[in-house]
Each structure stands twice: as structure tokens, then as C-alpha cells.
């Protein structure tokens, strides 16, 4: 029902920036109503919700990324973005975009989504 494809990951030095993109392939009524977001995961650790954005553009951020990461969506292109600035080595992880039916839990709802992409690796070196 929903297919998500991430791109834009890579390697960067601490203090640098990356912009992740996520193309969302689904029915218009789903894209127009679902909450979109990003989470990350490192081996042996739980998924960490990072940010969410609802269909009205309201956003929610985890404290760990607030002020450094910005989530946005281009509804004309069915694309979700995550602008990541001031990257730190602890940001190193596999990053996933996800779609959830409701944004009531904000970024906390994102990791449990049934719809997520294949992930894109972000590596930040010190």
C-alpha cells in the first residue's frame, strides 16, 4: 500500500551536513493524510524516532536532534526530507523514513510504523 525509498546517506565529518530524501509511492488519499517521519537504528540498539511531520506541516522532534535536524515534505513530489546539520559521530546509524496513519504520538510513533523504507546509512567521523 505504501512504498518508501530513501536516498542521500553517506559519510561526512563531524560538523558537516547531509540531506536525506524519501520518495513515497502510495495512493493520494494516503499520502495526503498519513504522518511521515524518520527514525534511525544502530546494531544492538532499539529504533530511535527522530522527527515527524503531519499533512498540515506540523512537526515534532526528538531532543537528540532538535535544532540540528529539519524535517520537511514536498507534497507536489510526494517526497519527504531530513536536513541534518551539525552532525556528530553519535548520529552514525541506518536512517529510515516511515509512514504512520496518525501523528498523535509525534516522532515517538514513527519507529513502530509498518511502512518503512530500506534505509540509508549515515556515517559521521570525528
Nearest to 3 by CA among 19, 23, 21, 20: 23
Residue pLDDT tens, the chain, 126 long: 899 999 999 999 999 999 999 999 998 888 888 999 999 999 999 999 999 999 999 999 999 999 999 999 999 999 999 999 999 999 999 999 999 998 889 999 999 998 999 999 999 999
Angle (CA) 26 28 30, round 5°: 65
The DSSP secondary-structure symbol of 109 reads G
pLDDT, residue 29, reads 87
Residue for grid cell 556515517: 123
Amino acid at each position: 500500500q505504501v512504498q518508501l525509498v530513501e536516498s542521500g546517506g553517506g559519510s561526512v565529518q563531524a560538523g558537516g551536513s547531509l540531506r536525506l530524501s524519501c520518495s513515497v509511492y502510495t495512493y493520494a488519499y494516503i499520502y495526503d493524510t498519513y504522518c511521515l517521519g524518520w527514525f534511525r537504528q544502530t546494531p544492538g540498539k532499539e529504533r530511535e524516532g527522530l522527527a515527524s511531520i503531519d499533512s498540515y506541516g506540523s512537526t515534532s522532534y526528538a531532543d537528540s536532534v532538535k535544532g540540528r535536524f529539519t524535517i520537511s515534505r514536498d507534497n507536489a513530489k510526494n517526497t519527504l526530507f531530513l536536513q541534518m546539520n551539525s552532525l556528530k559521530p553519535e548520529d552514525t546509524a541506518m536512517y529510515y523514513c516511515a509512514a504512520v496513519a496518525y501523528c498523535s504520538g509525534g516522532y515517538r510513533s514513527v519507529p513502530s510504523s509498518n511502512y518503512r523504507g530500506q534505509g540509508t546509512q549515515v556515517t559521521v567521523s570525528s
